[in-house]
Structure 1
Amino acid sequence: MAANTQKQALNALAFLYKQVLKYETIDISDWKSAKKPKTLPVVFSKQEANQVIAHLSGSPLLAALLMYGAGLRLQETLRLHIKDIDFGRGELLVRSGKGNKDRVTMLPQRAISMLHSHIENSQ
């Protein structure tokens, strides 16, 4: 049983005994509560990421390079504008990221020539 479900059931039993059955004291010291499992994020190794990237081309490749190289989330990548790219400083401005905050991150060297081509082809 999930930890939260178990906590809810315990609180319901405590309410039943105290409020409905009018027991003054309830001993729940022997109760063993479930622990919430700690889940670690699944992150590709450098080799795994390079294997995935090797099978991409065009815009998906550019998006993957930006996501992996600059640490962008998918929606942040899709919302990028030309004005958010600073080639001179090698930076990307991420607008309205997680928590609706703006941040600056590095521009991956490997993506620069593809970005130039993508910008030229979209104009």
Structure 2
Amino acid sequence: GILEKVVSRRAEPFAQACSLLVESEAKEGRGGQAARWLSWMAGQGLRPDAARCSSAIHGLVRLGDAAEASKLLEAAVRAGAGPGTEVYNALIGLHARKGDLAQALRCFMRMAEDGVAPDAVS
């Protein structure tokens, strides 16, 4: 269909537009929808913008939504747009502020599994 033609002809601008949708959905508190966009993009062979994914996860952290932020982090990593240390640190901090130290530790361990080096904040 027409969507496939747009994707194939204008992959990079289309990927940027979809990444913007991911960021917008997350900042509105719709992390599940943002994760669905990331999954759809991966299915289309589009690589999301890592900076926008990081911003989206940060948006969910600011909203205090650890569950949705974690889902979006997993989707971003699967889509090849895994964030850096600062995003993991923000999510670890959110879990700690909520008193969920076990989840904070799991997030820290996930950071290492994803090949992201911890820093002094971690």
TM-score range, shorter chain: under 0.3
State TM-score, norm by structure 1. Answer: 0.26
Higher fraction of strand? 1
**Normalising by the residue count of structure 2, what TM-score does the alignment of the two structures yield?**
0.26
Higher RCO (CA 8 Å, separation ≥ 6 residues): 2
Q: Which structure has greater helix proportion?
A: 2
